[in-house]
Structure 1
Amino acid sequence: MEERNMGGGMMNSMGRHRGVIVVLLIVLTAFFAVKTIGEIKKVGVIGKDIAPQAVISVSGDAERFMKPDTATVSFTVRMDAKTVSAAQEEVTKKANAAIDALKALGVEEKDIKTISYNINPKYEWNTSVYPCSDYRCPPGKQVLVGYEVSHSSEVKIRKIDDTGAVLGKLGELQVTEVGTVAFSIEDEDKVRAEARAEAIKEAREKANKLADDLGVSLVRIVSFSENGGGSPIYYAKAMDAYGMGGAESAPVPQIPTGENQIISNVTINYEVR
């Protein structure tokens, strides 16, 4: 009898221990499951910016007016002849004379470059190859009559006050195809950076004022963008003033340079709280 009671007590004690172990295992399993899910959720945002909850957007504008210090002009020498070599010879003589004259005016060789050199055949539509009869006129024929050679160059004039003298010399040499004259600023990036800094300062001041009015604090910049402009001043072709035939001594035209406008428009988005 006593042996049976002792055996029963041991069985009850082992059962209670197993129940406790099962409960502990369930608790541990639930704990690790919750932790694992939390870590998985974190992976989705690691390395990513959390989208700001509140944002204000401000803009700033600035402009600079600068007197140009560089002029750019292009010109073309074009000649026709019966043969390619003859046309090339005439073009070479006139183009070389123009380049030598520019160098004599102080234009450096590095600032003169060829932008195109073309050779094209020239045709005429000849209807007299086959004379008309009483009944019909036979079709005409395209006939090669010669070749056209053109040499185009671009010149950068760093002594901008010499622009008129350059145009006058080209006219004197009977270079009748002169392209648009453009005035620019050599170190335009520096001027643009100054305008940008002023625009950013204006935007920052607006942001601080707006934050004070709203009763919030600026946290960080979440985005920045800039739109700006500024282009060279262009003048139309001026060679008509010299006449197609040129002159022994072409007058030196006055070429006003005006001022170039550099604009910077910035937009900054701030996170606030």
Structure 2
Amino acid sequence: MDIFEGAMGDKLRKAVLAVVALLALFLGVQSVAGIAGLRYIGAGLQATNTIYISGHGEILAVPDIATFTFSVVSEKSTVAEAQADATKRINTIANYLDGAGIDKKDTQTSSYSIYPQYEYSQIVCIAYPCPPGKQVLKGYEVRQTTTIKVRDTAKAGELLAGVGDKGATEVSGLTFTFDDPDAAQAQARDKAIADAKQKAQELAKELGVRLVRVVSFNENNYGGPIYYAKGEALGMGGTDAMPVAAPEISTGQNKVTSDVSITYEIR
């Protein structure tokens, strides 16, 4: 009987210990899950009381860079002749630009193309039905286009006339912009942020609350219009053309704009 009772006692103690161990494990898991849940909830907390404010800023700045393009077009009976003529005129213009103080890094060949040129030849009709006409190769056209950056905008008009006088067939695309557009954009952004801050402070005062912190910020900006000078004939067509006076070019001012959106937490 004592042996039986001892065996039953050992089994009971083991059962109790097993239950206690399982209970401790369960409580431990629940505690860890609870802590993790609290961390997650805390990390995901967001401001519930907010106001959304937009601000606008703009500046007018005088452009410090002018750009334009010119093309040399040569039509000859063979590709070699057309290329030789175009190259000669391009070199003449390049020497002129170098003498005018334009750095080689500010000149870039935008495109270079060679196209066959055809003309339609109608066969004399002496009996019906008349034979169809045909395309006859008459030569080749070589076209080279170059983009020029002018750092002294006051010389833009002089250079437009100069490249035309030295052999450019076409001169176009005069625009005025900024060498460092980020600097102008930063000034406009500062004004936009100041505008938003002022609006937020005024609204907070009217609502009887205070601004706590910035919850979010967004910026939408654009550089405003780029001004294009009105182009006119500049005596283009080679050195045989009569030189013309440089056109008067006005750089004007470019508008740089920034729009920002700021969300503030309030209390």
Q: Normalised by the size of structure 1, how large is the TM-score?
A: 0.82
Q: CA deviation at 1:67?
A: 1.1
Task: Measure, in 1, the Cα distance between the counterparts of 2:72 and 2:236.
Answer: 15
Letter of the 2:216 counterpart: S
Letter of the 1:182 counterpart: T
Letter of the 1:263 counterpart: T
Q: CA deviation at 1:22?
A: 9.8
Q: CA deviation at 1:177?
A: 0.5
Partner residue, 1:236? 230
Stretch deviating more after TM superposition (244-253 or 63-72)? 244-253
1:49-86 per-position Cα deviation (integer Å, ceiling 9, x unaligned): 43321221111111111111111110000010110000
Stretch deviating more after TM superposition (92-101 or 222-231)? 222-231
Task: Tell me, yes or no, if structure 1 residue 224 matches structure 2 residue 217.
Answer: yes
Q: CA deviation at 1:36?
A: 4.3
Select the residue among 111, 119, 124 that pairs with 2:119.
124
Residues 134 and 34 of structure 1, relative CA distance in 2, 3 Å threshold? same
Letter of the 2:105 counterpart: K
Select the residue among 237, 243, 247 that pairs with 1:253.
247
Which has the higher Rg, Structure 1 or Structure 2?
Answer: 1
Letter of the 2:61 counterpart: M
Partner residue, 2:49? 54
**RMSD over equivalenced CA pairs, Å:** 3.3
Is the CA contact (8 Å cut-off) linking 2:112 and 2:143 kept in structure 1?
yes
1:135-150 mapped onto 2 (5 Å cutoff): 135-150=128-143
1:113-192 mapped onto 2 (5 Å cutoff): 113-128=108-123, 131-192=124-185
Partner residue, 2:31? 35
Partner residue, 1:3? none
Is the CA contact (8 Å cut-off) linking 2:234 and 2:244 kept in structure 1?
no
Task: Tell me, yes or no, if structure 1 residue 265 matches structure 2 residue 259.
Answer: yes
Equivalences, count: 263
1:177-197 per-position Cα deviation (integer Å, ceiling 9, x unaligned): 011101112122112112212
Residues 150 and 247 of structure 1, relative CA distance in 2, 3 Å threshold? same
Select the residue among 71, 95, 105 that pairs with 1:110.
105
Letter of the 1:164 counterpart: G
Is the CA contact (8 Å cut-off) linking 1:78 and 1:148 kept in structure 2?
yes
1:11-58 per-position Cα deviation (integer Å, ceiling 9, x unaligned): xxx9xx999989977975774464244245347558x54332122111
Task: Measure, in 2, the Cα distance between the counterparts of 1:202 and 1:186.
Answer: 27
Task: Measure, in 2, the Cα distance between the counterparts of 1:18 and 1:79.
Answer: 105
Partner residue, 1:64? 59
Task: Measure, in 1, the Cα distance between the counterparts of 2:110 and 2:74.
Answer: 17
3-state SS of paired residue (1:186): coil
Residues 24 and 184 of structure 1, relative CA distance in 2, 3 Å threshold? same
Letter of the 2:257 counterpart: I
Task: Measure, in 2, the Cα distance between the counterparts of 1:133 and 1:247.
Answer: 45
Residues 118 and 18 of structure 1, relative CA distance in 2, 3 Å threshold? closer
Task: Measure, in 2, the Cα distance between the counterparts of 1:266 and 1:41.
Answer: 36
3-state SS of paired residue (1:179): strand
Is the CA contact (8 Å cut-off) linking 1:171 and 1:250 kept in structure 2?
no
3-state SS of paired residue (2:188): helix
Task: Measure, in 1, the Cα distance between the counterparts of 2:109 and 2:25.
Answer: 80
1:206-236 per-position Cα deviation (integer Å, ceiling 9, x unaligned): 2222223223333332221112222431123
Task: Measure, in 2, the Cα distance between the counterparts of 1:116 and 1:214.
Answer: 61
